[in-house]
Structure 1
Amino acid sequence: MSTPHSPDGETLLTVTRRRQAADGVLDLTLARPDGGPLPEWRPGAHVEVLLGNGLVRHYSLCGDPADRSGWRIAVLRTSASRGGSAHVHDELHVGVPVGVRGPRENFTFRAMERCLFVAGGIGITPLLPMVAAAEAAGVEWRLLYGGRSLASMAFLDELAVYGDAVRTVPQDQFGLPDLAGYLGAPDEKTLVYCCGPEPMLTAVEDLSRTWPAGTLRTERFQAAQLPSDTVDSAFDIVLSGSDVTLRVPADRSILDVVRDARIPVPSSCTEGICGTCETEVLEGEPDHRDSVLSVEERESGETMMICVSRSRSPHLVLDL
């Protein structure tokens, strides 16, 4: 039996379960109305949830990848919500239909001899199935999980089964977690997975600069801040499929210019965090400004996120 799709590739699902996972955190399960299996996914994957009125939000899958009967997400209601989290909390009740695209895998888990997980607040969501995968694979692992308070930290009951491998650090009791002490010395046999608020991600990135390349993997829920001295310049792009050359002004994105030329390109977040608009670069040097590609992927220059990234060279040739 096929999965029901709308013309734009959206999968039509229904909310089948809803519970409060912590203060301000809603735990939802989405499933096919006909009960059929959903596509496979791996720990770290996320889906795009279409909330109506043009709102599209990206949420990590935090359930069991082996359970294809439903997709589980958890959504934090934020005071600075632009409408997404408020809509989820106020409108997505059991039985309500919702459009979903994906899953997308930009933050995939790879078992290593040793894994260190660092979660801040709702950043626990993509790490929850990673921890389960590490445990199942017999990998040595630890999790540092920080939050404003115990009441605000979701899934503590599920994490309790791992005992001392999980360290919870509620800020109202213990202050900020000791990231330097937790990470320790650089180790080429250790992978670090981190997801949380921007200050935590920045701190972990700074502490990991001396670690071997590829040992830190992060996921952001919002775009990283660009340096204050960042300058945008105009450049040309060549679309290899039509040999058309387009000028990208300093105040516009590649995605904007390509769409103006009526070239269909998939995109979603327009902030460089979802990976939907990843495009192959055939010639030229991208100026990467996304929060998806790893250091190694950026250095290779093989792809770029055209919603935010620009060019260091006078022109780029793109596989469009």
Structure 2
Amino acid sequence: MSETMMTLKVAERIEEAGNIVRLRLSAPDGAALPAFTAGAHLDLHLVDDSCDLWRQYSLCSDPAETGFYEIGVLRDPNSRGGSEAVHRLATPGARFPVEGPRNHFPLAEDAQNTVLLGGGIGITPMLAMAQRLHALGRPFTLHYCTRSASVTAFQQMIAKAPWAANVVFHHDDAAPEQRLDLTRDLPAPDAATHLYVCGPQGFMDWVISTAEAAGHATSNVHREYFSADVDTSGESFEVVAQRSGITVTVGPNDTIAKVLAAQGIKIDVKCEEGVCGTCVTDVLEGVPDHRDKFLTQDERDDGDAICVCCSRACSKTLVLDV
């Protein structure tokens, strides 16, 4: 999928339950939008007098639709300002610089069985996946977990969908048998069965660890973190920017990206939490201390890439290809 920089306007703003807003974004001139695959996201540039941020939001609309994109955004007062900015700025007709679509959470369309697990706002990529799987005629189940039915977004959208019968709702305040029970709700491990999980970090860690402990192959347990609790602190180390010919010291409370930027070496950083992959940089020498949630375990084991927004070094020196 090619990545495109464009300007999109808010064609429609739909207030969903649970302090979530669903935004329909279209080209100002009505032109068709670049195609995307299920699991893809957009990077929105949020700018006004109080913020200048890039934030990532999963596409929840049908991948077959080219007239508009839809995203869902939870207003989270504990976030770092992105969600508040979206809710404040995304009025009908407002325009945003956008990059994408990009897909780090692709759907295995040839799977014989697919289980989608969305926690809260983590339901958004699952909606696009459900629409795609239905179009392909593939069997799937979507488990949608929220605190309560009263804060469950997209209920009307799901109820009208031809795949509504594939959705199982789970609410924390419901009877025990209606809550997500992984011993009951996860299928038996099989090479042709794929699981997808997105939601709060605790929910995701629980699903992933339980699935892998039950025998599901790590490569078949797909995950996308919207945010992560990341500790970027640690012992000081040196970074050699080989192509730039500069060596810097990353202090206990610095990040590689910030120290390099202070020396004029700018690496694009968007999420600052190690979840979006924008800042992944090649490692030529040294041992990374991975703090991100983006790289797979195999990529970590290879040791030749690092998310410089949050990760550090196990070795005294890292040599980067910048």
TM-score (norm 2): 0.88
Deviation digits for residues 287-310 of structure 1, max 9, x if unmatched? 111111222222222322110111
How do 1:86-235 residues align onto structure 2 when only pairs under 5 Å count? Answer: 86-111=84-109, 112-160=111-159, 161-174=162-175, 176-210=179-213, 211-224=216-229, 232-235=234-237
Aligned to 2:156, the other structure's residue is in SS state helix
Indicate conservation of the 8 Å contact 2:242/2:320, yes or no: yes
Query: In the alignment, what sits opposite 1:3?
Result: none
How do 1:1-320 residues align onto structure 2 when only pairs under 5 Å count? Answer: 11-52=6-47, 53-111=51-109, 112-160=111-159, 161-174=162-175, 176-210=179-213, 211-224=216-229, 232-320=234-322
Change (3 A) 1:78 1:249: closer
Amino acid at match of 1:117: L
Amino acid at match of 1:32: A
Aligned to 2:163, the other structure's residue is in SS state helix
Which contiguous aligned blocks of 4+ residues in structure 1 show a shift greater than 4 angstroms? none
C-alpha distance in 1, partners of 2:230/2:180? 22
Aligned to 1:67, the other structure's residue is in SS state coil
Amino acid at match of 1:123: G
Range that drifts further, 244-253 or 13-22? 244-253
Aligned length: 309
Indicate conservation of the 8 Å contact 2:230/2:291, yes or no: no
TM-score (norm 1): 0.88
Residue 120 of structure 1 deviates from its aligned partner by 0.9
Amino acid at match of 1:58: Q
Range that drifts further, 304-313 or 94-103? 94-103
Amino acid at match of 2:196: Y
Residue 316 of structure 1 deviates from its aligned partner by 2.0
Change (3 A) 1:307 1:83: closer
Deviation digits for residues 157-191 of structure 1, max 9, x if unmatched? 34343244211112222354112321144333221
Residue 196 of structure 1 deviates from its aligned partner by 1.0
Indicate conservation of the 8 Å contact 1:122/1:153, yes or no: no
Unpaired segments ≥5 residues, structure 2: none
Aligned to 2:12, the other structure's residue is in SS state strand
Change (3 A) 1:256 1:23: closer
Amino acid at match of 2:255: S
Indicate conservation of the 8 Å contact 2:283/2:321, yes or no: yes
Deviation digits for residues 263-308 of structure 1, max 9, x if unmatched? 1211111111111111122222211111112222222223221101
Aligned to 1:172, the other structure's residue is in SS state coil
RMSD, aligned CA: 2.2
Residue 10 of structure 1 deviates from its aligned partner by 5.4
Residue 225 of structure 1 deviates from its aligned partner by 5.0
Indicate conservation of the 8 Å contact 2:230/2:273, yes or no: no
Indicate conservation of the 8 Å contact 2:130/2:163, yes or no: no
Deviation digits for residues 31-84 of structure 1, max 9, x if unmatched? 221222333322111112222121332211111223232221111122435443
Indicate conservation of the 8 Å contact 1:224/1:290, yes or no: no
Change (3 A) 1:237 1:83: closer
C-alpha distance in 1, partners of 2:133/2:16? 23
Change (3 A) 1:297 1:133: farther
Aligned to 1:145, the other structure's residue is in SS state strand
